[in-house]
Structure 1
Amino acid sequence: MTSPLPAFAAIVVAAGSGSRAGGAKQWRDLGGQPVIRWSVAALLEAGVEDVVVVVARDAEAEAHAALAGLTGWRLATGGATRAESVQNGLTALGGPAERPVLIHDAARPLLDREVIARVLAALEHADGALPALPVADSLRRGAEDLVAGEVARDDLWRAQTPQAFRYDMLTAAYAAWPAEEVATDEATVVQRKGGRVRIVAGDTRLMKLTYPEDFAMAEAYIPRQIRVGQGFDAHRWGPGDAVWLCGVEIPHDQTLIGHSDADAGLHALTDAILGAMGDGDIGDHFPPTDPQWKGASSELFLIHAVQRLTARGGRLVNVDVTLICERPKVKPHRQAMRERLAELLVLPLDAVSVKATTTEAMGFTGRGEGLAAQALATIELPARV
């Protein structure tokens, strides 16, 4: 059980345009949720007392949509510079004077409790604290694409956020900052005022999203969980001349009876994917009492389940379908079924399995009264969504 952190407040700066990232990155999707939501959720989970989210004047609707369902945060309007945005956040936050305040960039979404704990602990013996990583690469000066010299990397650090300060210290430091100068971060402002800022261990995952390619790297850092879902479906035989199984139409002297096209393989697989997400079943999403699904292709149901998985930042790993029937013979069509499922699910062929078995003339499938299908689906989901 983790120990509670000391009382603290936070300001999340999210008023930038994100031009180098191709647009306002704080509203973009990362791991199934907006970038800004990661930071605000992490602060709330760590027990923050009050969070002020600073956004551009015309971005309030985006903020409310991105943070819907979270409580304990409020908005402030950003300024022309980052320093102005932070000061607006401080004004909105208010005291008490001695309360620690964390200043965090929304562009660093993968914040965790350990970093928060480290900067708060360091603040007990300093006027400020910032997480940082030592510079590991060798550094060079360049001129017109040529090496112009070497820069010693001893005592060089890559500063991150959140940076922590007492409310009164930070507000006083900003009040004393020369209006004609641009402050790069709060540590610089507090140091100019004579404050001591301690460096604590940062986190590689706490990278700043600056360029479009950074999003792919951040996705790789998100912890993921493996889940498995199971689905089962059965339909009775009736008059007809073809049957749909796993997205393939097979000529047959009967057809399966159902509200849709009665593709038991796709129905079982849809339920397996929904089940792995804890997202109900096919009947919840496509009620058989709804006339719009009469005779519908079951591919629509499967695609819907995959889209819901994708919207949560998840992905399919593999699927396995077993068809249980005496007839028709599945083996001649099994490869076509695998290929169709791979196409629908955007999976490599070796991640798709279709098998068939009988019940040795036992039960309703053995008596030729109907066909059954069962399916398993393995998915990956972000550990926190």
Structure 2
Amino acid sequence: MEQGRSETIGIVVVAAGRGERAGASVEGPKQYRRIGGKPVIWHTLTTFLDWPRSGPIAVVIHPDDRALIEAAVADLPKRDELTIVTGGATRQASVLNGLRALRDHDIDHVMIQDGVRPFVDAELLERIARELAAGKTAVLPALPVSDTIKRADTSGVVAMTVPRKALFAAQTPQSFHYAAILEAHERAAEELAVDFTDDASIAEWAGLPVHLVEGSIDNIKLTVQRDIAMADEKLKGAALPDVRTGNGYDVHQLEPGDGVTLCGIFIPHDQRLKGHSDADVALHALTDALLATCGAGDIGDHFPPSDMQWKGAPSRIFLEHAAKIVREAGGTIMNADISLIAEAPKVGPHRQAMRETLSDILSIALDRCSVKATTNETIGFVGRREGIAAIATATVVFRGTD
């Protein structure tokens, strides 16, 4: 499922719950409460409707909520692309109804999303889609548990502290090979009386390997009234987004060799770039640009050239690290732009592959990745073919301010 392919992913959005912990409201269950002026479910569906890889979308609702869902999605431009499905007595039964509703569609994979996770974003969806495209049968977005976990006895006294090193908090969309998860759900419905709390648990029970992928700190599930209030505050504040731009510059000397690596693409050449790692000036400059958006220093602070473990290392490691730092700080990468300054080799024939590499590393759309090249008109060290330079700019949006 690379950028530009027509293959799509089926979506099941589960919105059949009653949400008692969120309290009563004239607006109905929590998936229909308004945040930022729109129902929670509206925000969730908008993300999937706008995502280019989304295929058929089944929205699973409570039998009593037909009027509520119709009102919630009435102004969605792609409203006709939604299939409304009645849920069952449990979440597990509701998901199965949603999966069955997609049987007549030509899809290989499916994402199962909680309707009350309105801040799921395309960046997370792309990370999951890449894992599915790589052949993973089940992919679970999750975040490492950061709080200390205690186990208590029946009297409420702490019995032990649970090591958190291997603990993760599961999120959605939990994503699967469609036929495999449908079969697992059908078997569970027929063979077991127990009700699973999530779809990854059913996959585990069925013997499907579940692979973790990095989740998103913003992808929270709205559970109690305070969650809804905070989500509303966040969206109201989004009118004044915190947009930051970072710049990066790098240069490496050329020496006799067999080729250069630029933007992760090896180009045969009669010279090579001299450096401790693979000397990819483009990715080094972009790494610095990303780190600049959240005041996280520069590439040398994180990967000092004196550290031998980075000798000959591919520079995508550095860029992936910078992107992770940005995401953990609450940022969403919006655009990456690189200008290469070199007399040779020719960059033009490799520009598309370079952009696709940036899109893959940063988990952003291809049209948000730009690579340009120019010569130095035979002036200076670049003009004398003694080195190659790169200038990079990154645009990141952080949480809005009041």
Within the candidate set 27, 31, 37, 2:36 is matched to 31
Q: Check whether the contact 2:10–2:109 (CA below 8 A) recurs between aligned residues.
A: yes
Contact 1:95-1:167 at 8 Å conserved across structures:
no
Correspondence for 2:200: 187
After superposing the two structures, state which structure 1 stretch, 106-115 or 76-85, moved more.
Answer: 106-115
- The match for 1:341 is none
Structure 1 counterpart of 2:151, from 123, 141, 145: 141
- 1:174-220 deviation digits (Å, cap 9, x = unpaired): 12223312111111111222211111111111111111111233235
1:130 and 1:198 in contact (8 A); partners too:
yes
Q: Does 1:126 align with 2:136?
A: yes
Name the structure 2 match of 1:283: none
Q: Distance in 1 between matches of 2:176 and 2:158?
A: 39
Q: Measure how far apart 1:69 and its partner are.
A: 2.2
1:104 aligns with 2:117: no
Q: State the 4+ residue runs in structure 1 displaced beyond 3 angstroms.
A: 2-6, 95-98, 143-146, 219-223
CA–CA separation in structure 2 for the residues paired with 1:200 and 1:58? 35
Residue 217 of structure 1 aligns with an amino acid whose one-letter code is M
Question: 1:158 & 1:151 partners in 2: Cα distance?
Answer: 14
Point out the structure with max Rg over C-alpha. Answer: 1
1:38-49 to structure 2, matched below 5 A, reads: 38-47=43-52, 48-49=54-55
TM-score normalised by structure 1 residue count:
0.56
Percent identical across equivalent pairs?
A: 36
Classify the secondary structure of the residue corresponding to 2:68. helix
Q: Provide the residue aligned with 1:81 in structure 2.
A: 90
CA distance in 1, matches of 2:215, 2:92: 22
For 1:234, the equivalent position in structure 2 comes to none
Give, as a single letter, the amino acid of the residue that structure 2 aligns with 1:126: K
Secondary structure of 1:108's match?
Answer: coil
Paired residues, what number?
228
Q: Do structure 1's residue 115 and structure 2's residue 150 form an aligned pair? A: no
* Deviations, residues 90-114 of structure 1 (Å, cap 9, x unaligned): 1112144652111000111111101
Q: What is the one-letter code of the residue matched to 1:214? A: D
Who is 2:20 aligned against?
19
SS at 2:64's partner residue? Answer: coil
Which residue is equivalent to 2:169?
A: 158
Post-superposition offset of 1:3: 4.3
Partner of 1:224: 238
Tell me the equivalent position of 1:175.
186
Paired residues of 2:85 and 2:101 also in contact (CA < 8 A): yes
AA matched with 1:169: A
Residue type matched to 1:78 in 2? G
Structure 2: stretches of 5+ with no match in the other structure: 242-398
User: Is the 8 Å Cα contact of residues 10 and 107 (structure 2) preserved in structure 1?
Assistant: no
Equivalent-residue separation in structure 2 for 1:64 and 1:33 (angstroms): 13
Residues 331-352 of structure 1: per-residue CA shift (max 9 Å, x gap): xxxxxxxxxxxxxxxxxxxxxx
Q: What is the distance in 1 between the residues matched to 2:233 and 2:65?
A: 28
Partner of 1:65: 71
Tell me if the contact between 1:97 and 1:166 (Cα under 8 Å) persists in the aligned partners.
Answer: no
Determine if contact 1:139/1:153 at 8 Å carries over to the other structure: yes
Per-residue CA deviation, residues 245-292 of structure 1 (Å, 9 max, x unaligned), is xxxxxxxxxxxxxxxxxxxxxxxxxxxxxxxxxxxxxxxxxxxxxxxx
In 2, Cα distance between the equivalents of 1:220 and 1:196?
39
Aligned residues: CA RMSD: 2.2
The answer to whether the 8 A contact 1:140-1:149 is kept is: yes
Q: CA deviation at 1:145?
A: 4.1
Partner of 2:99: 90
Unaligned 5+ residue runs, structure 1? 228-381
**Residues 221/201 of structure 1: CA separation in 2 closer, same or farther (3 Å cut):** farther
Residue in 1 aligned with 2:219?
206
Hey, what's the Cα distance between the residues in 1 that align with 2:144 and 2:150? 16
* Offset, 1:65: 0.3
Aligned partner of residue 240 in structure 2, secondary structure: strand
Letter paired with 2:187: A
For residues 95 and 191 of structure 1, what CA distance do their matches in structure 2 show?
26
Summarize deviations over 1:140-179 as a string: whole Å, max 9, x none. Answer: 1224443222111111000000011121111111122233
Contact kept in structure 2, 1:12 and 1:51, CA below 8 Å: yes
Distance 2:233 2:145 in 1: 22
Distance 2:12 2:107 in 1: 16
